[in-house]
Every structure is written in structure tokens, then in C-alpha cells.
Amino acid sequence: MRFAHPVGTVTGLAGVFLLALLVWAAPARAFEIEDHKAYPGTGGIMIAIISTADLAVFEPFILRFQSVHPEIGIDYSVASSAETHRAIVEGAAFDVVISSAMDLQFQLVNDGLARPFRSEVTGALPDWARWRDLLFAFTAEPAVAVISRARFEGMERPRTRQELIALLRARPEAFQDAVGTYDVRVSGLGYLFATQEARNSDTYWRLSELMGRLGVELYCCSAQMIDDVASGRLALAYNVLGSYAAERIAHDDRLEILTLEDYATVMLRSVLIPAQAREVAAAEIFVDALLREGLRDSPGSWGLPPLREADEPEATAYGPIRLGPALLVYLDRLNREAFIAEWADAMVQ
């Protein structure tokens, strides 16, 4: 049974509940939805959004959007970047696709699965934040390292990756089984961070090998990694999505962001309107609002950082990951196999 996403038909809490049951109950579903919530509007319109961003992160924006456009209802589904990509490739009926996996988003666009959209707001985006009229970035989010204050007690904070390597080498007892990072085999974002970092610097492989020797813990998602750092199970989480970390640190003083000054890998969270979108006009209004959010000058109230973050000093070493055909390189089956094999050699010892 294929999952046909109901749009505009299911409203209210009961609907959400039923839907959730349906999703969980479906054994041969085409893609996996992790979370879902509908925000009905006053008009008959309901746009279906599939996103990699957690509801908690996105809800403030949705509510703000609906206060301006109460007539537009929003059906928000959360999925992993790989599932999100698959949903669109398989033709699921979504009106907006939001993902942090730039490479997968680019592949959708390259394969002709996006619908062109041009507006005043898309015109205002910097060149690097947009690919043709198809794919638009609305955040610039660096990958960061998060440490546990308690476990770093008395230790000097390393300022570069070289210093981090030196510290890990010097104090293996303190970090044994206490370092976490993405499992690139399951996390699209983790794979993106890893491949881009590997391309940029050879320290990545040295760090990976070191983490492998220390019995690295592998995670699917940033949130759990941060949870484990907060609890003290981990001393260090490497390549955590900076925006999530920042939000957590804001009300959790057990955590601390380790500022590595040598370089930062900056990911662009991007949005596209799929070719099969039905509520195109409403989707365009939503995308415009989202891009306007991306163009705001200061971080403000919303947790997702604006595009301006890409201009911050720590991000300037390489700039944000470029939107372009080079993103296809690590998606290549042979390349992916080769990279994962090498990664596994380093990490899983």
C-alpha cells in the first residue's frame, strides 16, 4: 500500500491521530514520517509540507505565518532527509519540500522534480543562496562541536581541530566511549558534513580515526547527540547542527559550544516547490514568507539562523557549501560506497 497523503481532508486532532495510526500501521509504506501536525486555516486551502526540521523548531514560524495568512492551512510532516528525498522522487503529493540535505535537494532539482518560482523575494536572495529559480536557501547553519561542561572541567578548550586532536590523544581516558558524531550511513546531513569536510581538510580523516579508536558513538540525529552530551554520557559531540545546539544551550547550562576557529562547514537549509505541487499559489506565498525570514538581518526570536550567518567570521574560511552540480559527486553510488567504506574503516574499529 502506498501512502497517499491526505491534503485538506483531514483536519483537527482526531484526524492527526487517525493519520498517525495509519502511518504507523502501514507495513509497506513508501517513506517514513517521523512526526506530523496539521494547522488548519480559515480558507479551504491546505498546503502539505514535508520537512527535515523538527516541529518544535518550525512551529513558531508556522503560527506567525498563519497570523498573516489565516486562510492557508498547513499540513506539516517531519521526515529524515533521505525519506524526504524519496517521497518526492516517488511522487508523493507535497507542496513544499524543506530539507537540510543540500545534495539531495539539489538532486531533486537536477532531476527536474522542482517547479520554477520567481518573485521579488527570490530575486533579493544572494546568488549563492539560490540555484536557478528552483532551489532556495533560507538558513545558513554551521556544523559545531558541543561539549559537556562537567566533563571538560579543568580542561583547556581547544581552539582548532589540531588542538582537539592533540587533546583527544593526550587524554584518551577522558574521552573513551564519550565522543559522538553522525552515522553517515543513516544521516544524510551527517554524510553531507562528512564529505564536505573531508574534501576541505585532511584533518577530518585523522580526527575520524582518532574517534574510531576512542570507541565513537554514532547517532542518527543532532537532538539525541545533544541530549547525551547534556546528560554527561558524552563529553564531546562533533559536527552537531549549530542551530539546534544554540537553542538547547540557551536553556541548558550543562552544554557549551566548542568554537573551532580553523574552519566551519556551513550548511544551507533549502526549500523547493515540487513539480507535482497542487496548491502552487499558496505554496509560493509560504516560500516567500520563509525566504523573507531567511533574509532578516538579525537572528531574532526564531531558532533557525538567517542567511547572514554565512557572513560570520568563523564561516568565512570556505563559505557555505555551494549549491551546484558538485553536490552530485558524493551522491554518486560508486563514490558513496567508496566514501562510506573508508569512513567505516576509520570509525568502526
Which residue ranges make up the site for other proteins (CB under 8 A)?
109-112, 131-132, 199, 322, 324-329, 332-335, 338
* Beta strands at 45-51 and 72-78: parallel, antiparallel or unpaired: parallel
Q: Which is nearer to other proteins, 86 or 254 (CB)?
A: 86
Beta bridge partners of residue 270, listed in sequence order: 99, 137
- The minimum distance between CB 204 and other proteins, in angstroms, equals 14
Give the nearest distance from C-beta 271 to other proteins in angstroms: 17
Please report how close the Cβ of residue 195 comes to other proteins at its closest, in angstroms.
Answer: 9
Neighbour-count burial of 173, counting CB atoms closer than 10 A to its CB (0-12 exposed, 13-18 middle, 19+ buried): exposed
Alpha carbon distance 51, 269 (integer Å): 10
Nearer Cβ to other proteins (148/196): 196
d(C-alpha 190, C-alpha 193), whole Å: 5
Q: Tell the smallest beta-carbon distance from residue 117 to other proteins (Å).
A: 14
Nearer to other proteins, 135 or 144 (CB): 135
Closest distance to other proteins from the beta carbon of 95 (Å): 22
Closest listed residue to residue 179, CA positions, set 120, 104, 235: 235
Cell numbers representing residue 176 in the block: 573513551
CB of 91 to other proteins, least distance (A): 15
Q: Which residue lies nearer to other proteins by CB, 108 or 121?
A: 108
Task: Tell me whether residue 246 is exposed, middle or buried, using C-beta atoms within 10 angstroms of its C-beta: 0 to 12, 13 to 18, 19 or more.
Answer: buried
CB-nearer residue toward other proteins: 53 or 104: 104
| Residues 6+ positions from 270 with CB-CB distance below 8 Å | 98, 99, 100, 102, 105, 135, 136, 137, 138, 323
Q: Which one, 4 or 334, has the nearer CB to other proteins?
A: 334
CA distances from 105 to 24, 97, 188, 225, 302 (A): 26, 9, 11, 24, 23
CB atoms within 10 A of CB 304: 23
CB of 243 to other proteins, least distance (A): 27
Asked if residues 343 and 186 have their Cβ atoms less than 8 Å apart, the reply is: no
Closest distance to other proteins from the beta carbon of 329 (Å)? 5
CB of 160 or CB of 200, closer to other proteins: 200
> Is the separation of the CB atoms in 195 and 324 below 8 Å?
no
Distance between CA atoms of residues 59 and 80, nearest Å: 17
Measured from the CB atom, is 172 or 325 closer to other proteins? 325
What is the C-alpha separation between 26 and 33, in angstroms, rounded?
A: 11
